[in-house]
A and B are shown apart, each in its own frame.
Chain A
């Protein structure tokens, strides 16, 4: 009998299920994120544009409200509905784009980035989900004299977006303004996406060396050891900044080929004498039998002049330090 089963002398399983239900009731506070789940399911199931439109307006109110009160976790959950949870049909997609455009206002974005400066919980998740729609706003802040947050922060935020959607940033590598390209190249370099390698490689031909420096750094970050060739090529750049960046980045490459690649550059290319000492120190710092063999070969070169002489002397000094 159900009545007995529910009581302490009744069967265990049903009593357990009642206890479990009671505990669940207590745990399901009214304040949890029921509305987000329901809105997600409703938008996934409702296909009538006449009904979806008002629901998206309600979504916009909820999202904006969450951002304004600094509940970025909640805002990220609301954003997730539109950008991740629901697959939009062709007739509904414009409605979704419309509401996303409406909520992407400078004042809301400013609230988020100011909170991010204070390490607000959930802010980065929201930033990533809001994604490409924030790019125009951040572009404006790169251009204006007095952005609400530092440009470093703006680039950091672009980097977060790049990690999930590098394609949103790539067109800006073609911008006419060198400083725009530099900042976007920095952000794109943090994307982790191989899709970004080719556009960054194209930036190595940019007229401004500050752009080329960021391109070299970005390629090194994206390609790891496979960036060796690009870094070696960058040693031939006219700009000391670019060459300096390339030499620093060579230190970070773990491949055994680094020492021999540097040896080849010194032998075969017209490397600046000032760079040679730093390149030899890269080999010295790597240590190990391969590096020692390269140092010994460089130290044994004769007759030598100019950069090769500098390399020989530096290699000898390195070997002496080792001895």
Chain B
């Protein structure tokens, strides 16, 4: 267990105990002792430590893998109290740590000088997106596979930065993925699945050292359809896994497993029926793939708006519930890029999963030359719209938000 994670763990324990025990209770004091000890350790080397209650959670700019899910409730509580950054300054005082725990537990007050709230000393985790450049690169690599064959190293070279950027800005990643997935192009669908898998994977605890392998596997999950467009859909998992097994390169076993298993349900049924629980990466990619197909629609099923797709994803038990939690935690109930009809007839574009939105067209359907911010909490959402229904090209959404 890392010290940054320990800090969250002991804060969680202290806040929980303060929920049903008074300050000064021995159990509460024990938890605060632990929290104080970790705070002292975290600041020992550098003199201070900054916890960003952001998405993803980071300490001194380093993402704490999986913390957003593991301590999602605590982090939401912090945000509800208006806390976005917690800065610990050496020498950390125990009394300040105790006061901080009381603040988070809703007892009011304010911590002292050694535990400061919302004082940003360093930059937040990287937000600048290079997806504008990386998505076309990924598409190019995938489209060349039909001629060049499967080269794991080439795919991995584009997958790793793609994953890094997607994780850095899940909202941007989601908007782009939803736009890419709305068509029927296999390369675009695969890139969307890769972007979503990277973000969800990071949420659910896939370590930084393995996220590239997950994203590589996600990019290649439909490789057979890239190479053999006429292949029966039911045959593409086996055919794709076979192609990847024949390709040398880092992580090719996992990529082959994901290609094989991305239509297998958690109970081992589906196609091909393998009779065992698929690899965790396969379950993550299966969720992203399912989302992509819901957004794209098919001959027999109309396309769904991204938020709607997130809501119905996994309804038939085809997705691992834990992965669904990660997806919904990563992208929110009303994901960025969602187009909403408001009670006044305007169309608003959700700019971030935290709830900011822009009105992009008025009640008469006229596009605004400059989108206007709107507080969704003050408005009633009448419907979620597909881009076509809102008169907007899906491919345009990332630029509208940019």
What is the interface of chain A, defined by CB distance below 8 A to chain B?
A: 1-10, 13-14, 17-22, 24-26, 28, 30, 34-35, 37-39, 41-42, 44-46, 51, 54-55, 58
Known: A8-B74, A45-B238. 20 other contacts (CB 8 A): A2-B329, A2-B333, A6-B70, A6-B73, A6-B329, A7-B76, A8-B12, A8-B16, A9-B77, A21-B320, A21-B323, A22-B70, A25-B206, A34-B254, A34-B257, A35-B245, A38-B241, A42-B256, A51-B242, A54-B246
A20 to B77, CA, bound (A): 24
| Chain A residues positioned under 8 Å from B323 (CB to CB) | 21
Query: Which of A1, A3, A45 sits near B272, CB closer than 8 Å?
Result: A45
Query: Which of B12, B72, B274 sits near A6, CB closer than 8 Å?
Result: B72
CB distance from A11 to the nearest CB of B (A): 10
A4 to B251, CA, bound (A): 34
B168 contacts the other chain (CB 8 A)? no
Given A30-B251, A41-B274, A45-B238, verify A18-B325 contact (CB < 8 Å). yes
B120 contacts the other chain (CB 8 A)? no
Q: Which of B76-115 contact A (CB under 8 A)?
A: 76-77
| Chain A residues positioned under 8 Å from B276 (CB to CB) | 37
CB distance from B280 to the nearest CB of A (A): 5
B143 contacts the other chain (CB 8 A)? no
A188 to B329, CA, bound (A): 64
A116 to B401, CA, bound (A): 66
B368 contacts the other chain (CB 8 A)? no
| Chain B residues positioned under 8 Å from A30 (CB to CB) | 210, 213, 251, 253-254
A167 to B387, CA, bound (A): 69
| Chain B residues positioned under 8 Å from A22 (CB to CB) | 66, 70, 204-205, 322
| Chain B residues positioned under 8 Å from A38 (CB to CB) | 241, 245, 253, 256-257, 260
| Chain B residues positioned under 8 Å from A17 (CB to CB) | 320-322, 325
Q: Which of B173-232 contact A (CB under 8 A)?
A: 204-206, 210, 213
B75 contacts the other chain (CB 8 A)? yes
A286 to B70, CA, bound (A): 72
Contact with A along B301-345 (1 / 0, CB 8 A): 000000000000000000011111110110011000000000000
A19 to B254, CA, bound (A): 22
Query: Which of B12, B245, B324 sits near A58, CB closer than 8 Å?
Result: B245
Q: B259 — nearest CB in chain A belongs to which residue?
A: A38
Report yes or no: B279 in contact with A28, Cβ–Cβ below 8 A: yes
Q: Which 10 A-B pairs have the closest CB atoms?
A: A7-B73, A7-B72, A2-B328, A9-B73, A21-B322, A45-B238, A35-B253, A17-B322, A22-B205, A6-B72
Query: Which of B74, B205, B324 sits near A2, CB closer than 8 Å?
Result: B324
CB distance from B160 to the nearest CB of A (A): 15
Given A17-B322, A38-B245, verify A51-B72 contact (CB < 8 Å). no
